[in-house]
């Protein structure tokens, strides 16, 4: 059953189209990833789903409720971890969570227990009486995930949950996120521009310039790249290049001292190639396609190249737009 439905969603800020006619569905109990570079329209889409923004056109439903017509119902069924922290740093971890429990009308006799439960889940129970300003980035993010679960939402939104965290905290956070659908009966809707992190998703939509350019499971998407990439270095690259082309029919290119080509089953291809070329082989390596390659293939650019430039421009534009309103 689809728990999130988005139909022909469009959002314009003046002459900038942040979201350009996207449609998709998210199945209950899955992890759905929304991938794309900064400024692609991910946060705008989340803000519309969270009822913080009105769309220019199109419709969105969460757990059967229309985000425009029944915002209160939608808000009850969602939890959100925003890109920038939304904790009150001058309150303790416990106070931040109990604030949330009151705000979401958690029954009086359950408030404390639920807060304790989620604190234990993210390993912060021992720190419950510490002020949040003393927490590290990773701890704050975990606390926010915990907070988002207190009112038992059907959907938990995670907007760039690992942004700004060190690799260890990132790995640690993913351990918690992976367990969420099963342990807390919640559907995860996450955005990220770290392609490798999207591997945990059951389904992924890749968005660029406000449009969804591909959708599927990580494995399906990687198949579209056309298989593995084999790199080979030999004593005579020119001769090898010709030989491989002639015998295997691969399109071989040269990059630095290496030759590389795409083949469907790289691991079985390599032994054959070595047998054919014989003595001249110096090194061989195999690269499995990553989601980054998928993005590269679809858009002709790597996802991080334009991170700073274009993405920030869009953010500036949206800020300026809001100030004028």
Partner 1 sequence: MEFNAIYVIVAREFKKFIRERSRLISTIARPLLWLFIVGTGMSRLVSPDTGVPYIQFIFPGILGMTILFSSIFSSISIIWDKEFGFMKEILVAPVSRFSIVIGKALSGTVVSTIQAVIILALFPFIGFKLGILQIIWVILISAALSFCLSAFGIVLATFYESYESFSVIMNFIIMPMFFLSGAMYPIKLLPDILNLISKINPLTYGIDAMKHVLFQFKTGTMSPDFLFIIDIAVIIGTSVLFVIVAGKLFERKK
Binding region for partner 1 (CB under 8 A): 50-54, 72-73, 75-76, 78, 80, 82, 84-91, 95, 98-100, 102-105, 147, 319, 321-323, 325
Q: Closest distance between partner 1 and the C-beta of residue 85, in Å?
A: 6
- Minimum gap (Å) between residue 102 Cβ and partner 1: 4
Which is closer to partner 1, CB of 50 or CB of 177? 50
In the bound complex, what is the minimum distance in angstroms from residue 237's beta carbon to partner 1? 54
> What residues have CB less than 8 Å from 116, skipping those under 6 apart?
125, 128
Comparison of 186 and 259: residue with beta carbon closer to partner 1: 186
Two structure tokens written together for 70: 């029944």
Token pair, residue 130, equals 């510490």
Two tokens at 207? Answer: 């968005």
Closest to 112 measured CA to CA, from 127, 131, 128: 128
Cβ at position 54, least distance to partner 1 in Å: 5
Q: What is the nearest approach in angstroms of partner 1 to the Cβ of residue 72?
A: 5
Cβ-contact 204, 212 below 8 angstroms: no
Is 147 or 222 the residue whose CB approaches partner 1 more closely? 147
The backbone torsions φ and ψ at residue 259, rounded to the nearest 5 degrees and listed phi first, read -100, 145
Structure token digits, residue 218: 């990580």
Query: Which residue, 19 or 212, has its beta carbon nearer to partner 1?
Result: 19
**By C-beta, is 139 or 269 nearer to partner 1?**
139
Q: How far is the CB of 313 from partner 1 (least distance, A)?
A: 19
Nearer to partner 1 (CB atom), residue 48 or residue 259: 48
The minimum distance between CB 25 and partner 1, in angstroms, equals 22
Nearer to partner 1, 138 or 266 (CB): 138
Q: How far is the CB of 261 from partner 1 (least distance, A)?
A: 48
Closest contact distance (angstroms) between CB of 204 and partner 1 is 25
Whose structure tokens read 């059967």? 64
Toward partner 1, which CB reaches closer, 148 or 266? 148
Structure tokens at 34: 């929304």
- For residues 78 and 303, which CB has a smaller minimum distance to partner 1 in the complex? 78
């Amino acid at each position: 059953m689809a728990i999130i439905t988005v139909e022909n969603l469009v959002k314009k800020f003046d002459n900038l189209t942040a979201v350009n006619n996207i449609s998709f569905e998210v199945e209950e109990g899955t992890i759905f990833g929304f991938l794309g570079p900064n400024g692609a329209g991910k946060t705008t889409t989340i803000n519309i789903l969270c009822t913080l923004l009105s769309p220019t056109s199109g419709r969105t439903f969460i757990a059967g409720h229309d985000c425009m017509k029944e915002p209160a119902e939608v808000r009850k069924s969602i939890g959100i971890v925003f890109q920038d922290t939304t904790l009150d740093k001058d309150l303790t971890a416990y106070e931040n969570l109990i604030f949330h429990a009151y705000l979401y009308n958690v029954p009086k006799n359950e408030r404390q227990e639920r807060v304790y439960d989620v604190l234990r889940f993210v390993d912060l129970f021992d720190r419950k009486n510490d002020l949040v300003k003393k927490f590290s980035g990773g701890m704050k993010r975990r606390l926010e995930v915990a907070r988002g679960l207190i009112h038992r939402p059907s959907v938990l939104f995670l907007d760039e949950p690992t942004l700004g965290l060190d690799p260890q905290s990132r790995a640690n956070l993913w351990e918690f996120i992976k367990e969420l659908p099963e342990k807390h009966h919640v559907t995860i809707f996450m955005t990220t521009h770290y392609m490798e992190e999207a591997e945990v998703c059951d389904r992924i939509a890749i968005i660029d310039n406000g449009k969804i350019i591909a959708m599927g499971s990580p494995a399906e998407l990687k198949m579209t790249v056309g298989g593995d990439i084999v790199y080979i270095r030999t004593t005579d690259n020119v001769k090898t290049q010709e030989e491989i082309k002639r015998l295997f029919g691969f399109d071989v290119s040269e990059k630095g001292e290496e030759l590389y080509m795409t083949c469907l089953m790289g691991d079985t291809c390599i032994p054959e190639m070595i047998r054919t070329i014989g003595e001249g082989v110096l090194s061989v390596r195999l690269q499995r396609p990553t989601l980054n390659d998928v993005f590269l293939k679809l858009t002709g650019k790597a996802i991080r190249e334009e991170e700073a430039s274009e993405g920030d421009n869009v953010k500036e534009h949206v800020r300026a737009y809001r100030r004028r309103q």
